[in-house]
């Protein structure tokens, strides 16, 4: 008889931190080890990335960007997850993780050149340990698992975060990556941002059962948490990353949130959902909720809140100014740049011939 793989509580350092409904317990919250400055920084980063998100949408509406996909309402996941990782840990994002890249230190104006049609790869992944935004759904998930296996073969203690939406869990790439990671105990944390929509398809029409329960079928644990609690996301990702770093393999976190905006700027969500669908989630806004908690703890006051809002406004305007002033890169660099670390002679020759043909025209 084949061996039966059981995922038991001892294998799961994340679950004891949360209630059965996925809320971070008061005891776990008190043991996060974050001082007042770190708690304020989580709030500041959520405010910064939300304002940048709105400004990117403004730019698209004004014809400065070809497309934009908002992450409004998902800021707690972006900030909590990245803050929980070490700087040497890698992130393999989907197309909506602009805020995560900002928290990692990537220049937002540089990132927007992708949506302006000026670049195919506007930052160096090796510098930020942040892979390119993946537009095709779920393709980044096997990439993350493969990279995580490379880290393991190098005997590195780096952990890889693979982040995706609920729609990605219906793709074959996702299942293949989950299976491979489970078999080979890849040091990867799978983070599902369950925002309830795959473009216009609701979760109930694409997923039977619970996303997190699928982890058991691949031989590793998972948990469903409140994705609008930045401290809960931080705690879950940190514990799962520690587990992976110790050689215990992958972990699946299903962070439940809601896509408050459109799928992208080309989408009209009023055609398939009601304003009443948004109302309960508006009351659970991750920034407002966290602000209320911080004020109750005496960690933040109205003066700091106003100052951070002003900082976010200034940063958004600087992002706009820098983006609109950026020239188009040389065609050779746009097409051939960042393909090889050590390009073969045939590739160099092809680039030289291409650039020579431009000079002759």
Cβ atoms of residues 145 and 131 within 8 Å: no
Q: What's the rounded mean pLDDT across residues 129-136?
A: 96
Looking only at the bridges linking them, the beta strands covering 201-202 and 197-198 are antiparallel
Cβ atoms of residues 269 and 280 within 8 Å: no
- The whole-angstrom separation of Cα 121 and Cα 111 is 8
Annotated catalytic residue: which of 96, 263, 290, 320?
263
**Residue 289 shares a structural domain with residue 348:** no
Query: Residue 11: which pLDDT band, with cuts at 50, 70 and 90?
Result: confident
**Residue 207 shares a structural domain with residue 355:** no
- State residue 151's pLDDT score: 96
**171-202 per-position pLDDT tens digit:** 999 999 999 999 999 999 999 999 999 999 99
**Residue 342 shares a structural domain with residue 249:** no
Q: Is the pLDDT score of 8 beyond 70? A: no
* 3-state secondary structure at position 209: coil
**Residue 321 shares a structural domain with residue 273:** yes
Q: Is the pLDDT score of 144 beyond 60? A: yes
SS (H, E, C) 118-146: CCCCCCCHHHHCECCCECCCCCHHHHHHH
Q: Which residue has the tokens 């080979």?
A: 184
- State residue 358's pLDDT score: 85
- State residue 330's pLDDT score: 83
Residue 72 in domain:
yes
Q: What does the CA dihedral 304, 233, 256, 159 come to, rounded to 10 degrees?
A: 130
Cβ atoms of residues 146 and 152 within 8 Å: no
Q: Is the pLDDT score of 102 beyond 90? A: yes
Q: Is the pLDDT score of 5 beyond 80? A: no
**Residue 253 shares a structural domain with residue 352:** no
Alpha helices in 188-301 (DSSP H): 214-217, 230-245, 275-282, 286-296
- The whole-angstrom separation of Cα 161 and Cα 131 is 10
Annotated catalytic residue: which of 214, 259, 290, 320?
259
- State residue 360's pLDDT score: 63
**Residue 352 shares a structural domain with residue 319:** no
- State residue 335's pLDDT score: 83
User: Which tokens hold the place of 349?
Assistant: 């020759």
DSSP 8-state symbol, 234: H
**Residue 158 shares a structural domain with residue 20:** yes
**256-306 per-position pLDDT tens digit:** 999 999 999 999 999 999 999 999 999 999 999 999 999 999 999 999 999
Annotated catalytic residue: which of 128, 272, 284, 322?
272
- Residue-number span of the structural domain to which 360 is assigned: 331-361
- State residue 361's pLDDT score: 56
pLDDT above 90 coverage of the chain, percent: 89
User: What CATH number did the domain enclosing 281 receive?
Assistant: 3.40.50.970
- The whole-angstrom separation of Cα 77 and Cα 103 is 11
Q: Is the pLDDT score of 4 beyond 50? A: no
Residue 137 in domain:
yes
The residues with which 194 forms a beta bridge, in sequence order, are 256
b (16+ CB within 10 A) / e for 41-52: bbbbbbbbbbbb
**Residue 62 shares a structural domain with residue 95:** yes
Residue 215 in domain:
yes
**Residue 340 shares a structural domain with residue 274:** no
Q: Is the pLDDT score of 249 beyond 60? A: yes
- The whole-angstrom separation of Cα 334 and Cα 87 is 27
Cβ atoms of residues 320 and 51 within 8 Å: no
**Residue 238 shares a structural domain with residue 340:** no
Q: Is the pLDDT score of 31 beyond 80? A: yes
196 has catalytic annotation: no
- State residue 329's pLDDT score: 79
Q: What's the rounded mean pLDDT across residues 58-82?
A: 98
- State residue 334's pLDDT score: 77
Cβ atoms of residues 153 and 117 within 8 Å: no
**326-359 per-position pLDDT tens digit:** 988 788 887 888 889 899 999 999 999 999 998 7
pLDDT above 70 coverage of the chain, percent: 96
pTM of the predicted protein model: 0.92
Residue 4 in domain:
no
**Residue 93 shares a structural domain with residue 178:** yes
259 has catalytic annotation: yes
DSSP per residue, 273-313: --HHHHHHHHTT-HHHHHHHHHHHTTS--HHHHHHHHHHHH
Residue 3 in domain:
no
**205-243 per-position pLDDT tens digit:** 999 999 999 999 999 999 999 999 999 999 999 999 999
15 has catalytic annotation: no
- Go through the chain and tell me how many residues it has: 361
The mean of the pLDDT values for the chain is 94
Query: Residue 251: which pLDDT band, with cuts at 50, 70 and 90?
Result: very high
- Nearest to residue 93, comparing CAs of 164, 1, 154? 164
Residue 252 in domain:
yes
Domain count, the chain: 2
**Residue 335 shares a structural domain with residue 325:** no
């Amino acid at each position: 008889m084949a061996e039966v793989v059981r995922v038991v509580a001892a294998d799961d350092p994340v679950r004891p931190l949360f209630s059965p409904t996925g809320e971070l317990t008061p005891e776990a919250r008190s043991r996060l080890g974050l001082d007042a400055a770190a708690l304020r920084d989580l709030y500041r980063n959520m405010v910064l990335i939300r304002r940048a998100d709105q400004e990117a949408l403004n730019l698209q509406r004004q014809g400065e960007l070809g497309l934009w996909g908002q992450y409004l309402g998902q800021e707690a996941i972006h900030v909590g997850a990245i803050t929980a990782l070490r700087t040497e840990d890698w992130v393999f994002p989907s197309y909506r993780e602009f805020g995560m890249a900002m928290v990692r230190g990537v220049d937002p104006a540089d990132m927007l050149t992708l949506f302006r049609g000026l670049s195919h790869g506007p930052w160096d992944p090796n510098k930020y340990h942040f892979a390119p935004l993946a537009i095709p759904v779920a393709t980044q998930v096997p990439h993350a698992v493969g990279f995580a296996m490379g880290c393991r073969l190098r005997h590195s203690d780096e952990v890889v975060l693979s982040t995706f939406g609920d729609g990605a869990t219906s793709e074959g790439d996702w299942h293949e990556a989950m299976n491979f990671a489970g078999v080979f105990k890849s040091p990867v944390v799978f983070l599902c941002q369950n925002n309830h929509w795959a473009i216009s398809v609701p979760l109930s029409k694409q997923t039977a059962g619970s996303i997190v329960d699928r982890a058991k079928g691949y031989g590793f644990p998972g948990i469903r948490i409140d994705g609008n609690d930045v401290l809960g996301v931080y705690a879950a990702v940190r514990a799962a990353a520690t587990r992976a770093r110790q050689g215990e393999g992958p972990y699946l976190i299903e962070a439940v949130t809601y896509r408050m905006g459109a799928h992208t700027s080309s989408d009209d969500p009023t055609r398939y959902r009601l304003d009443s669908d948004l109302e309960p989630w508006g009351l659970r806004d991750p920034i407002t909720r966290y602000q209320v908690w911080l004020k109750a703890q005496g960690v933040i006051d109205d003066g700091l809140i106003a100052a951070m809002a002003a900082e976010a406004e200034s940063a958004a305007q600087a992002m706009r100014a820098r983006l609109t002033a950026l020239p188009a890169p040389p065609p050779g660099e746009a097409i051939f740049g960042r393909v090889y670390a050590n390009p073969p002679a045939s590739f160099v020759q092809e680039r030289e011939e291409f650039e020579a043909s431009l000079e002759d025209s």
